[in-house]
Structure 1
Amino acid sequence: MLIYGRNPVTEALREGRVDEVLLARGVDQAFERQLRALAEEAGVRVRLAPRIELDGLAGTTAHQGVLAEAQELSWADPQEIWDLAERRGEAPLLVLLDGITDPRNFGAIIRSAEVLGAHGVVAEERRSAPLSAVVAKTAAGATAYLPLVQVKNLPRFMDELKERGVWVYGAAGEAAQPLERTDLSGPVALVIGSEGDGLRRLVRDRCDGLVSIPVRGQVSSLNASVAAGILIYEAARRR
């Protein structure tokens, strides 16, 4: 796959997933030195190219002057979530996605989850954006550090989580239970629905509770990735 953006390419180099790097002529020298040092350490060729060539390959001008041919991003084994929580000595904090098909929202949620200390992001096989270059770019390198898990049936996976003692809370704007009155200090999974339809009925029914984020403006709802960031932050703050 082709990935672009400074953080995604840098992290992919550190992971050893890159075959070749294209660098736009005229990028700042400090970044070029850093990139070349990483590429040399990884045994990867760096080729200078006109910026217009990167524009065409990336399909956008938002590549920040660097593009790489890299191995595909891959889904993690669910056990990696529990292993990460155990290594940190923390109660598991998961983010479950129900119908997040926009790759930018998907990438932004992954980034927030990693930055704020979650232990994994879980998506359903048929109702999720694929792991693409856009997801990698928006996640800004977070895909290198956070287990991304794909399951065939999200409601069934939620049942498995509850059997392991994880409390599952779904985000719903109309929910009577406000976020600040919800106990998020233990093992928790936060479920984020699609912007258009919210949580599916089967998913809502599997939740231990539905929580809302208090809003004060005239617009009634938040972008899915923004809502996810608020929920994850609040869970992390309670720990």
Structure 2
Amino acid sequence: MAGNSRRRGAIRKAGTKKGQVVGSGGQRRKGLEGKGPTPRAENRTGHPAQRRAMAAAARAERSAKAAAKKAEGPELIAGRNPVVEALRAGVPATALYVALNVDADDRVTEAVRLAADKGISILEVPREELDRKTNRAVHQGLGLQVPPFEYAHPDDLLAAAQDSGEPPLLVALDGVTDPRNLGAVIRSAAAFGAHGVLLPGRRSAGVTAVAWRTSAGTAARLPVAVATNLTRQLKAWAKEGLMIAGLDADGSVDIDGLSLATDPLVVVVGSEGRGLSRLVRETCDATVSIPMAAGVESLNASVAAGVLLAEVARRRRVAGRV
């Protein structure tokens, strides 16, 4: 029988039996317990997937820093109307670029005159160079170099609105990432008497040259502020007595029933795709829809903002005449 042979080397010595020969008294219970599911590859120390994930994160961080550094550089406002509007408004420009052999009209003449009066450098450059500087924007032979946009503080917006002697009217954007939409909203806000525009600190377009151009220079006259947390800022304004009305396709009231128009008001415009975020919608005192003809799903964010602001301005004019 195996193990009982008396042949030399066939006898099992004491203490060589495989496995435990005595009870552990519960001392090895923890060692027998499971350690949970296996971590994902990118979470395992030293795993190739973790090294790749760390490298990708480092590349993303470098790209973000490079983009931020680039955004801090000077912007170029392109187009005759935007350039003239910016110069009229006293935008702190550093240089006016004029394309060689440009077809001069009244706007070009005024831009050159205003720049000269303000001591701004006037540089004649080949059209190809101006194309490159404006990233192929429609510049019409004019480009105005301005320093990075200086944002106001949200408290400054409310203070300016309260000092105006009129019921405050502010516009907040919730995730609008297209700078052309931002510029168009700023233009509509200025046209219909708003006192300022509020942007969230994240997931939002900034006042770049594209926004400058779309706003036709009105960004120089209307303060634009940035909130670290949009929902928190809206709640702070609500505590100051402002009503919050958000544009929403499934609004609680339509634009014809907006009784809040003559009150101190914040109009919130949602993003181009998803509209208002959940937390912002819950902060609103009312959500407003715009009645449309059958077959039309929705309006562009900036167009919808213009329609609502025009109605608010109309109601305030009527109320002022009563």
> Shared topology, TM-score over 0.5?
yes
Q: Give, in whole Å, the separation in 2 of the partners of 1:68 and 1:155.
A: 35
Flag structure 2 segments of 5+ consecutive residues without an equivalent: 1-74, 317-322
Aligned residue for 1:7, secondary structure, equals helix
Equivalent residue in structure 1 for 2:145, among 69, 79, 94: 69
1:9 Cα deviation from its structure 2 partner: 2.3
Q: Match of 2:299, as an amino acid?
A: L
Match of 2:168 in 1: 92
> What's 1:10 paired with?
84
Moved more, 98-107 or 85-94: 85-94
What's the counterpart of residue 53 of structure 1?
Answer: 129
Which of the numbers 218, 222, 239 marks the counterpart of 2:295?
218
Instruction: Specify the SS of the correspondent of 2:288.
Output: strand
**Mapped pair 1:112 → 2:188:** yes
Work out the CA distance in 2 between the residues paired with 1:233 and 1:147: 19
Name the CA distance, whole Å, in 2 between partners of 1:73 and 1:36. Answer: 22
Q: Which amino acid aligns with 1:10?
A: V
SS, match of residue 229 in structure 1: helix
Q: Which amino acid aligns with 2:289?
A: S
- Indicate the percent of aligned positions where both proteins have the same amino acid: 43
Q: Which residue of 2 aligns with 1:206?
A: 283
Whether contact under 8 Å (2:183, 2:215) holds in the other structure is yes
1:234 aligns with 2:311: yes
Matches within 5 A, 1:31-50: 31-50=107-126
> Could you give the per-residue CA deviations for residues 170-229 of structure 1, whole angstroms, max 9, x where no partner exists?
111112411111111110111111121111111111111111000113121000000000
Compute the displacement of 1:106 (Å): 0.6
| Structure 1, unaligned runs of 5 or more | none
Change (3 A) 1:61 1:146: closer
SS in 2 for 1:113: helix
Change beyond 3 A, Cα 1:90–1:39: same
Q: How many residues align?
A: 239
Cα RMSD (Å): 1.5
Shift in Å, 1:142? 0.7
SS at match of 1:238: helix
| Residue matched to 2:266 | 189
SS at match of 2:198: strand
Deviation at 1:29, TM superposition (A): 3.9
Deviation at 1:5, TM superposition (A): 1.8
Structure 1 residue 3, shift from structure 2 partner: 1.9
Q: Are the aligned partners of 2:197 and 2:222 in contact in 1 as well (CA < 8 Å)?
A: yes
- Highest CA radius of gyration, 1 or 2? 2
Residues in 1 aligned to 2:126 and 2:144: alpha-carbon distance in whole angstroms: 14
CA distance in 2, matches of 1:161, 1:76: 16
**Among 22, 32, 36, which residue is 2:97 paired with?**
22
- Most deviating of 177-186 and 81-90: 81-90
TM-score, structure 1 as length reference: 0.94
Relative distance call for 1:61 and 1:171 in structure 2 (3 A) is: closer
Runs of 4+ in 1 over 4 A off after TM superposition: none
From 218, 243, 250, the counterpart of 1:167: 243
How far has the Cα of 1:30 moved from its partner? 2.4
Alignment CA distance shift 1:6-1:32 (3 Å): closer
State the SS of the aligned residue for 1:18: coil
Q: Is the 8 A contact 1:168 1:207 kept in 2?
A: yes
State the TM-score, normalizing by the size of structure 2: 0.71
Amino acid at match of 1:22: Y
Which protein is richer in strand relative to its size?
A: 1
Q: Which residue identity does 1:113 align to in structure 2?
A: A
**Aligned equivalents of 2:105 and 2:308: distance in 1?**
39
Distance 2:233 2:159 in 1: 17
Q: Does the 8 Å CA contact 2:91/2:220 hold for their aligned counterparts?
A: no
CA contact (8 A) 1:74 1:131 kept: no
Q: Which has the higher contact order (CA 8 A, sep 6+)?
A: 1
